[in-house]
Amino acid sequence: MQKMGRVLGIIKFDLVIIIVAVCMGIFMGGGVWAQGNVADEDSDGAVYIVSLKQAPTSLFSGELSLKKNKKHHAHYNISHGSASRKARFDKPSNVSGHPGSYVSRMHDSLLRKVFRGQKYMKLYSYHYLINGFAVLVTPQQADKLSRRKEVSNVVLDFSVRTATTHTPQFLGLPQGAWAQEGGYVTAGEGIVVGFIDTGIDPTHPSFSDNTSEKPYPVPEHFSGVCEVTRDFPSGSCNRKLVGARHFAASAITRGIFNATQDYASPFDGDGHGTHTASIAAGNHGIPVVVAEQQFGNASGMAPRAHIAVYKALYKSFGGFAADVVAAIDQAAQDGVDIISLSITPNRRPPGVATFFNPIDMALLSAVKAGIFVVQAAGNTGPSPKSISSFSPWIFTVGASTHDRVYSNSIVLGNNVTISGVGLAPGTDQNATYTLVSAIDALNDTTASDDMYVGECQDAINFNRTVVQGNLLICSYSIRFVLGLSTIKQALETASNLSAAGIVFYMDPFVIGFQLNPVPMRLPGIIIPSPDDSKIFLKYYNSSLERDQTTNKIVKSGAVACISGGIKANFSLSAPKVMFYSARGPDPEDNSLDDADILKPNIVAPGNSIWAAWSSGGTDSMEFLGESFAMMSGTSMAAPHVAGLAALIKQKFPTFTPAAIGSALSTTASVYDKGGGPILAQRAYANPDINQSPATPFDMGSGFVNATAALDPGLILDSSYNDYMSFLCGINGSASVVLNYTSESCGASTLSGVDLNLPSITIARLNQSRVVQRTLTNVGGSESYVVGWSAPYGASVKVTPTRFCVGSGESLNLTISFNATMNNSSPSFGRIGMFGNHGHVVNIPLSVIVKISYNTTSA
């Protein structure tokens, strides 16, 4: 079957979609046809994710309890040769006795029994983390399945979406975290980071194993494979990129898979996956050249870590939970150490609690297997409760700025300077150039009433004689935001007309849109502010001389020079939380009740991040054909933390996922580079004006501190059983927990407040509450002094106020909260523990509703 899958993997996608779906099902591990049939195209069939009561194969084989270095044996063969040869990773041989094969056959047998003679199509068999499958059936068939005694849960599939040259220096890696572990040549070595994203471009030098320092080792605990297709040929994987698969069965059954854009292979046709993988684990010292300009050298956070790719998101439609769950299940089976998800659901999960959804529950099983899970917070900020990553076992990362900024400006002939963006060279600073609007440079044959002609998308519309040697003025409208017009095309127009440069002014209808710096080969600038654009246009229009008879422009007296935006500047007011970064508090359910869980967990650099770009990447037309791109979003922040987690896992191989999260959280900083409080942007429009000090609901524990996280002093640990007790403590959750985990809730439960998290969040403080935290010393023996600040409207007492703890020892910290007023506005405080060996351990405090007395009885 797997040999057949390897052959079918290179099938052309101009075949009938049903044939492709069959091939995909075989290739990706378990898709089968029932009696040669599939749900009719005109039926009301849909994809459902089905969980069974019997335990998954990881529990059959006891793999979850085995040590990482014994968990798997590599099934690939590596051909050794000269340094120029790439390692070749082959598929494992087909072993008929593998428990996954047995489970898949069991799923097929159940479906045949339930749907005797009926049409259906199984897309995936999940067998490692969960025992279940994804199947295309009608709602009536799904209901029939749900009534079977073997079935525990049936959930309708849902859609998901995607949510570095200088950041290693900004995070202090060269002199800090890397230096502690022997420098960048060993940083992350032996750790496998799995990316569930849009794939990867294996030809990019950021993922080559031909490094001059020393050969990459083979990660012995990893058993993943590399799909071989026409788009992803043999030899694409190596000792750096150790695994690559793709998952698209759910999308294919819907008829929305676009083979031209999406690629039926791990190849990245979007760019997003290549970008995120290189942020976390791209090779060190890769030159960043964009638009023929040099922007330094790039490095991932853990440049010697290995990369495994599980493509489940696509350019044309995003992705679906059934494919993502399959990717998570495979990544865990392969033996990854860390999973990075720069994706979020398109809607808040329905039901008893947001935590109960197929993706989060699959990730809970991954955490049980010892895998640290990082997820982007989402780009839906800055509104409260906009967070799109919910569960306490997932480490949620928001986006912040870093201190490097690229600024550009244009100096007008009246000595007014207007700031703008654009990674562009400047004009000759000893000269000024005449400004000519595209509207005033039209050919006689061009219709002046064409409302889009001012966007400069076609040189044929303009008089070259009028434009030549001058600065061409073009409008930037909503069409650029939608991708209908592009900067690149306007630059080509300016170049064809021999313009000295190009100036874009912002259409007044484009409100609240923040531009990333855009690469330009010509001198150029984009004026992003509508108000500044009005000032610019007023100066230009006031300088025009027109023919009294024809009203044509005789002369333009407006001149300007462009400063250029290639050279970076550095700011002390960094980091700050970006306006788009999703915010807490964490919604517990669809009624927006608040959970006693802090989200996000932390913030990391996510704005204007240089990283690798796919040669086929079309996510940003401005970087089409480039090997690097500058992108922004929580998607860029999450892999920063995934890479830093690899460094922690390398130093502390026995750390649990919760321990890694604690090390990152308790050492995070709440101060910017200038020593002031980290600020959070509060609005889309004019975000740098609408900002105030960040709270834990903006930044979690704070901004990641890579060096301190490798020496945290004390950690707060939690286990899978703790998370299960938390889920069981949610009102009405017992049956849902049983459905998802096949485990019954016992008498012991925990509230979110009582989980041993490196934060304390109380959604409703009814007069008083006593909370405990267990601290474990992972350093040498040390004495600590405890200090704290109380949230407004509450008093706090912490005991003990001093303690000494030996290496490997644990102690309990007791925190007593008392409401001092009735108040429903969130307020915040902090507990700080200061060790005599220099360790500082912080725990943020958040209290939302405070009730000091019962108003009814009073």
Higher pLDDT pick, 183 / 838: 838
> What is the Cα–Cα distance from 288 to 81, expressed in whole angstroms?
29
Catalytic residue among 635, 665, 718, 725: 635
Percent of the chain with pLDDT over 90: 56
Percent of the chain with pLDDT over 70: 85
Tokens of residue 101, six digits: 């094969």
Strand 121-126 vs strand 151-156: parallel, antiparallel, or unpaired? unpaired
> Are the CB atoms for 283 and 167 separated by under 8 Å?
no
Paired residues of 843 in beta bridges: 831
The yes-or-no verdict on residue 837 having pLDDT over 90 is yes
> Are the CB atoms for 369 and 332 separated by under 8 Å?
yes
> Are the CB atoms for 582 and 386 separated by under 8 Å?
yes
Tokens of residue 589, six digits: 């359910």
pLDDT of 90-101, one tens digit each? 333 333 345 567
Determine the residue type at 429: Q
Average pLDDT over residues 296-311: 93
**C-alpha 821 chain-centroid distance:** 40
> What is the Cα–Cα distance from 332 to 224, expressed in whole angstroms?
10
Which of the four pLDDT bands, split at 50, 70 and 90, describes residue 59? low
Q: What is the pLDDT of residue 281?
A: 94
Average pLDDT over residues 523-532: 91
Burial class (CB in 10 A: 0-12, 13-18, 19+), 92: middle
Average pLDDT over residues 780-807: 97
Q: What is the DSSP string of 494-527?
A: HHHTT-SEEEEEE-TT--S-PPPP-B-SSSEEEE
The yes-or-no verdict on residue 398 having pLDDT over 90 is yes
Q: Which residues contact 828 (CB under 8 A, 6 or more apart)?
A: 695, 696, 791, 844, 845, 846, 847
> Are the CB atoms for 124 and 30 separated by under 8 Å?
yes
pLDDT of 135-151, one tens digit each? 999 999 999 999 998 88
Tokens of residue 774, six digits: 């267990």
Sign of CA dihedral 228, 234, 237, 239: positive
Q: What is the pLDDT of residue 73?
A: 33
Active site residue 197: yes
Q: Give a three-class secondary structure readout of 752-804.
A: HHHCCCCCEEEEEEECEEEEEEEEEECCCCEEEEEEEECCCCEEEEEECCEEE
The yes-or-no verdict on residue 296 having pLDDT over 90 is no
Higher pLDDT pick, 120 / 259: 120
Catalytic residue among 107, 221, 246, 272: 272
Which of the four pLDDT bands, split at 50, 70 and 90, describes residue 783? very high
Average pLDDT over residues 11-33: 30
Report field, pTM of the whole predicted structure over 0.85:
no
> What is the Cα–Cα distance from 585 to 594, expressed in whole angstroms?
6
Q: Which is nearest to 365 in space by CA: 64, 646, 751, 738? A: 64
The yes-or-no verdict on residue 117 having pLDDT over 50 is yes
pLDDT of 607-635, one tens digit each? 889 999 998 877 777 788 889 998 889 99
pLDDT of 674-697, one tens digit each? 899 999 999 887 788 899 999 999
Q: What is the pLDDT of residue 741?
A: 86
Q: What is the pLDDT of residue 18?
A: 27
The yes-or-no verdict on residue 25 having pLDDT over 70 is no
Catalytic residue among 104, 127, 197, 323: 197
Sign of CA dihedral 577, 579, 582, 584: positive
Q: Which is nearest to 459 in space by CA: 443, 470, 475? A: 443
Which of the four pLDDT bands, split at 50, 70 and 90, describes residue 89? very low
The yes-or-no verdict on residue 221 having pLDDT over 70 is yes
Sign of CA dihedral 707, 713, 716, 719: positive
| Mean per-residue pLDDT of the chain | 84
Burial class (CB in 10 A: 0-12, 13-18, 19+), 534: middle
The answer to whether the bond into 600 is cis (omega within 30° of 0) is yes
The yes-or-no verdict on residue 430 having pLDDT over 80 is yes
Which of the four pLDDT bands, split at 50, 70 and 90, describes residue 446? low
Average pLDDT over residues 784-803: 97
pLDDT of 500-509, one tens digit each? 999 999 987 7
Which of the four pLDDT bands, split at 50, 70 and 90, describes residue 449? low
Active site residue 635: yes
Q: What is the pLDDT of residue 182?
A: 61
Higher pLDDT pick, 666 / 174: 666
Higher pLDDT pick, 16 / 350: 350
Active site residue 450: no
Burial class (CB in 10 A: 0-12, 13-18, 19+), 179: middle
> What is the Cα–Cα distance from 298 to 282, expressed in whole angstroms?
8
> Are the CB atoms for 845 and 757 separated by under 8 Å?
no
